[in-house]
Amino acid sequence: MLGRQVFLQRLHAVLVTLLVLCCVFPVCSHAETSDRQGSSPSGWGSLPLVWQPLARRLAADGLSGPRVDALLATLPAVPSQSPMGRKMRELYKSRFLAKAPDRKAAPRYYKNVVNTRSARLCREFIAAHAPAFRQAQARYHVSAAVAAALLYVETRLGKVLSDTSENALYTLASMAVSRRPEDISDWLDKMPGYENRQEWFDATMSKRADWAYRESRALVQHLLQEGGDPRDLPGSIYGAVGLCQFMPSNISVYGADGNNDGRIDLFQVDDAVASLANYLSRHGWKKGLTRQRQQKILMRYNNSRVYADTILALADLVSAEDRPESLKRLKQSKERP
């Protein structure tokens, strides 16, 4: 009797063990299958695993649900290496690679921008969108000539809205999930000696990825508010959008509804002109500024003296009544050291 009781106890233990194993193994098998298929069992459906850190951070910041899922679902299965690779190469060369001495004088203006043709195109653009420029000048004290010159430098008055085939969300999301050198493997041979800079890579890529996440979050918020398909959203190599090339985080701060339709669409001339003028105004632009102060404010838009000087010189040509005299002044300014 005792032997039978021991046998039954042992049999019961074996059955319990088998039951536990049957519960565990299917879960493991399912997880392994999900990994192989590149999808997640954790609530994002078919979203590739590589984008799930981005989805988790957005959810932690209160951005989740079907509409966010739909935006993320537009992302290709594999991140682009180009945005982070390009930025890291730029930073790496500046920090670690010696530059050959350049005996040429630095250019004062961007090439092929400050000329009569560009000025004529700006004047025609102002005439075609006169109400937008009048409103910006009245409200923000930014002249039509300066606003048009800025748009010309940024996007050739809306004709060049992107310098990459990747849309803005894909660009920024790709940077946001690229945190290790292996994430930009195609670019590493352009950075000789990178193997010895692991600590710098870890710190720098993390910093840039966190910046890109904040811009991705801002762009997702903008798309949720204003609508639109990310695949139809051209952007710069680092995710700036619209005729005035705002980074997404600037849209909610400086974006302005120039045509009073209740939306901010930087691909519309009225909103783009109002937004860039609002940006300049909020950074101190007003009537009667000295040339030096104008330059400094424009450098808040893009931290480049050549950028600021190009806009101001082109604006001079746009607003000049005496074109030959304006050209003479321009020639003299080019000749100055």
Total domains present in the chain: 2
Domain-located, residue 63? no
Exposed, middle or buried by CB within 10 Å (0-12, 13-18, 19+), for 113?
A: middle
Whether 162 and 289 share a structural domain: yes
Whether 127 and 276 share a structural domain: yes
Domain-located, residue 51? no
Domain that includes residue 92, residue range: 82-335
Mean pLDDT of 167-180: 98
Domain-located, residue 244? yes
Give residue 206's pLDDT band: very low, low, confident or very high (50, 70, 90). very high
State the pTM of this model: 0.82
Whether 23 and 142 share a structural domain: no
33 vs 333, higher pLDDT = 333
- Residues 6 or more apart from 146 whose CB is under 8 A from it? 280, 294, 311, 312, 315
In 3D, which of 264, 315, 306 has the Cα closest to residue 142?
315
Classify the phi-psi angles of 227: left when phi > 0, otherwise alpha if psi is within -120 to 50, otherwise beta: left
Please report the pLDDT score of residue 158 as a whole number: 97
Residue 201 three-state SS:
helix
N- to C-terminal Cα distance for the chain? 110
Give residue 19's pLDDT band: very low, low, confident or very high (50, 70, 90). very low
Mean pLDDT of 79-94: 97
2 vs 225, higher pLDDT = 225
Give the CA angle between residues 220, 171, 181 to the nearest 5°: 120
Calculate the dihedral angle through the C-alpha atoms of 119, 122, 123, 126, rounding to the nearest 10 degrees: -160
Exposed, middle or buried by CB within 10 Å (0-12, 13-18, 19+), for 204?
A: middle
Classify the phi-psi angles of 97: left when phi > 0, otherwise alpha if psi is within -120 to 50, otherwise beta: beta
Domain-located, residue 94? yes
Give residue 99's pLDDT band: very low, low, confident or very high (50, 70, 90). confident
Whether 26 and 88 share a structural domain: no
Domain-located, residue 31? yes
Whether 269 and 155 share a structural domain: yes
Domain-located, residue 65? no
- Cβ count near 29 (within 10 Å): 10
Domain-located, residue 70? no
Q: pLDDT by residue (tens digit) across 133-148?
A: 999 999 999 999 999 9
Q: pLDDT by residue (tens digit) across 252-296?
A: 999 999 999 999 999 999 999 999 999 999 999 999 999 999 999
Q: pLDDT by residue (tens digit) across 210-251?
A: 999 999 999 999 999 999 899 999 999 999 999 999 999 999
Separation of alpha carbons 306 and 110, rounded Å: 7
Please report the pLDDT score of residue 250 as a whole number: 98
Q: Any idea which residue has 């609002």 for tokens?
A: 278
Q: What is the mean pLDDT of the chain?
A: 86
Whether 213 and 303 share a structural domain: yes
Please report the pLDDT score of residue 104 as a whole number: 77
Whether 8 and 87 share a structural domain: no
Domain-located, residue 54? no
- Residues 6 or more apart from 148 whose CB is under 8 A from it? 122, 123, 125, 126, 133, 157, 315, 318
In 3D, which of 98, 96, 92, 99 has the Cα closest to residue 181?
92
Please report the pLDDT score of residue 214 as a whole number: 98
- Confirm if 333 and 313 have CB atoms less than 8 A apart: yes
**Identity of the residue numbered 204:** T
